Amino acid sequence: MTGDERERTIEALFDEQRQFPPPSWFKEQALVTTEDIYKAADSDVEGWWAKQADSVVWRKRWEKVLDWSDPPFAKWFVGAKLNITESCLDRHVAEHPDRVAYYWEGEPGDTRTITYADLHAEVCQAANALVELGLTKGDRVAIYMGMVPELPIALLACARLGLVHSVVFGGFSADALADRIEDAQAKAVITCDGAWRAGSVIPLKDMADEAISRTSSVESVVVVRRCGNEVNMLEGRDHYWHDLVYRQPRSIDAVECDSEDLLYLLYTSGTTAKPKGIVHTIGGYLVGTSFTHRYVFDIHDDDVYWCTADIGWVTGHSYIVYAPLANGATSVIYEGVPQYPDKDRFWAIVERYKVTKLYTAPTAIRTFMKWGDEYPARHDLSSLKLLGTVGEPINPEAWMWYHEKIGGGRCPIVDTWWQTETGQILISPLPGVTTTKPGSATFPLPGIAADVVDEAGNSVPLGSGGYLVLKRPWPAMLRTIYGDPGRYVDTYWRRFSKPDEGKWVYFAGDGAKRDEDGYYWLLGRVDDVMNVSGHRISTLEVESALVDHPAVAEAAVVGRADERTGQAIAAFVTLKGGVSGDDQLITELREHVSNKIGKIARPASIVFTDELPKTRSGKIMRRLLRDISERRQLGDVTTLANADVVHEIAEQASNLSNSEE
Binding-site member from 9, 308, 363, 419 for ligand PRX (CB under 6 A): 419
Strands (E) across 526-565 are located at: 529-532, 535-538, 552-562
CB of 635 to ligand PRX, least distance (A): 25
**Cα angle: 608, vertex 614, 616; to 5 degrees:** 155
Restricting to residues 295-354, which ones interact with ligand PRX according to CB under 6 A?
Answer: 314-315
601 binds ligand PRX (CB under 6 A): no
**Cα angle: 654, vertex 657, 661; to 5 degrees:** 160
CB of 43 to ligand PRX, least distance (A): 28
Binding-site member from 298, 451, 510, 562 for ligand PRX (CB under 6 A): 510
List Cα–Cα distances, 472 to 71, 323, 377, 399, 451, in angstroms: 11, 22, 45, 30, 10
Binding-site member from 259, 268, 363, 424 for ligand PRX (CB under 6 A): 268
Please name which of 516, 574, 519, 566 lies closest in space to residue 546, comparing C-alpha atoms. Answer: 574
Distance in angstroms (rounded) separating the CA atoms of residues 634 and 623: 10
Contact between residue 554 and residue 574 where contact means Cβ atoms under 8 Å apart = yes
528 binds ligand PRX (CB under 6 A): no
226 vs 403, beta carbon nearer ligand PRX: 403
275 binds ligand PRX (CB under 6 A): no
Phi-psi region of 79 (alpha: psi -120 to 50; beta: other; left: phi over 0): left
CB of 313 to ligand PRX, least distance (A): 6
239 vs 560, beta carbon nearer ligand PRX: 560
Contact between residue 4 and residue 523 where contact means Cβ atoms under 8 Å apart = no
Distance in angstroms (rounded) separating the CA atoms of residues 539 and 507: 19
CB of 204 to ligand PRX, least distance (A): 21
Binding-site member from 391, 439, 475, 613 for ligand PRX (CB under 6 A): 391
Binding-site member from 166, 292, 416, 594 for ligand PRX (CB under 6 A): 416
Q: Which stretch binds ligand PRX (CB under 6 A): 97-105, 380-388, 415-423, 556-564?
A: 415-423
Binding-site member from 417, 443, 467, 519 for ligand PRX (CB under 6 A): 417
525 binds ligand PRX (CB under 6 A): yes
600 binds ligand PRX (CB under 6 A): no
Burial zone of 470 (CB within 10 Å; 0-12 exposed, 13-18 middle, 19+ buried)? buried
441 binds ligand PRX (CB under 6 A): yes
277 binds ligand PRX (CB under 6 A): no
Distance in angstroms (rounded) separating the CA atoms of residues 540 and 530: 10
> Dmax of the chain from CA atoms?
73
417 vs 482, beta carbon nearer ligand PRX: 417
Please name which of 231, 272, 202 lies closest in space to residue 599, comparing C-alpha atoms. Answer: 202
CB of 165 to ligand PRX, least distance (A): 17
List Cα–Cα distances, 502 to 18, 71, 193, 447, 471, in angstroms: 41, 9, 52, 20, 11
Q: Which stretch binds ligand PRX (CB under 6 A): 82-90, 148-156, 418-426, 586-594?
A: 418-426
CA 577 to chain centroid: 40
Q: Binders of ligand PRX: how many residues, by CB under 6 A?
A: 22
Residues in touch with ligand PRX (CB under 6 A): 268, 314-315, 390-393, 415-420, 441, 508-510, 522, 524-525, 531, 536
